[in-house]
Amino acid sequence: MFETMHYIVESIDGDYANLKKVEEPDGEPKLVARALLPAEIQEGSKVKYEMLSYYME
């Protein structure tokens, strides 16, 4: 079973973005290549990870 996870784009640095898990605000950010994320993301955008893909919320 695939789990749906919700993130907020904490920062964008070149070809990568740091995502903070909504459910774990004190946890470590996850570094993700921007090529895997929706093109329209900005700092503060909300994204969800579902079925091995990222989507805007």
Dist CA 3 CA 15 (whole Å): 26
Q: How confident is the model at residue 2 (pLDDT cuts 50, 70, 90)?
A: confident
Dist CA 14 CA 25 (whole Å): 23
Contact 19, 7 (CB under 8 A): yes
Dist CA 5 CA 14 (whole Å): 24
Write phi, then psi, for 26 (nearest 5 degrees). -95, 0
pLDDT digits (tens, 9 = 90+) for 3-57: 899 999 999 999 999 999 999 989 999 999 999 999 999 999 999 999 999 999 9
Query: Is 47 strand, coil or helix?
Result: strand
